[in-house]
């Protein structure tokens, strides 16, 4: 009977997969963040500069997110008032006083969708890049 020696490389394989997964998600989120910033309208630059990405490796799953802590980012993405993306905004408009004390009336803000547009424009490129990373092409 032939002698068979079993060598367990599962730990090394899992580590290599985890490294590739982290790299793939990090690259994808970085690209999405950069494109979202390019897509964001600039008045003061505050909303544009607040976009960030995070990547977390739990040991089993690698999760990534592109986010913005500013409320205006939500308004830029989904719109407000009469123009809200799903039609669920305030109807009839409203008035507000700006920082200089001047009154304005608005019916809302049209959605500009900077994050969605970034995702839509990069989706195929990011999938192709992830495939390359997992096939071994790290460059």
Per-residue pLDDT for the chain (139 aa), expressed as one digit of tens each? 789 998 888 888 888 888 999 999 999 999 999 999 999 988 888 999 999 999 999 988 999 999 999 999 999 999 999 999 998 999 999 999 998 999 999 999 999 999 999 999 999 999 999 999 988 755 4
A 10 A CB-CB count for 82 gives: 16
The answer to whether the predicted template modeling score (pTM) of the entire model surpasses 0.85 is: no
Q: Which of 65, 75, 67 is nearest to 41 (CA)?
A: 75
- Counts for the chain of helices (H) and strands (E), in that order: 4, 4
- E-only strand ranges, the chain: 52-57, 62-67, 94-97, 103-106
The phi, psi pair for 47, rounded to 5°, reads -65, -45
């Amino acid at each position: 009977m032939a002698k068979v020696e079993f060598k367990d490389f599962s730990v090394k394989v899992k580590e290599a997969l985890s490294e590739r997964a982290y790299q793939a998600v990090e690259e994808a989120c970085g690209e999405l963040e950069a494109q979202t910033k390019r897509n964001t309208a600039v008045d003061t630059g505050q909303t544009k500069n607040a976009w960030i990405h995070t990547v977390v490796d739990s040991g089993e799953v690698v999760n990534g997110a592109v986010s913005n802590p500013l409320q205006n980012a939500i308004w830029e993405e989904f719109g407000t008032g009469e123009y809200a993306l799903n039609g669920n905004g305030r109807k009839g408009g409203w008035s507000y006083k700006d920082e200089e004390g001047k009154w304005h009336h608005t019916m809302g803000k049209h959605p500009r969708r900077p994050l969605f547009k970034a995702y839509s424009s990069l989706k195929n490129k990011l999938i192709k890049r992830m495939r390359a990373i997992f096939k071994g092409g790290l460059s």
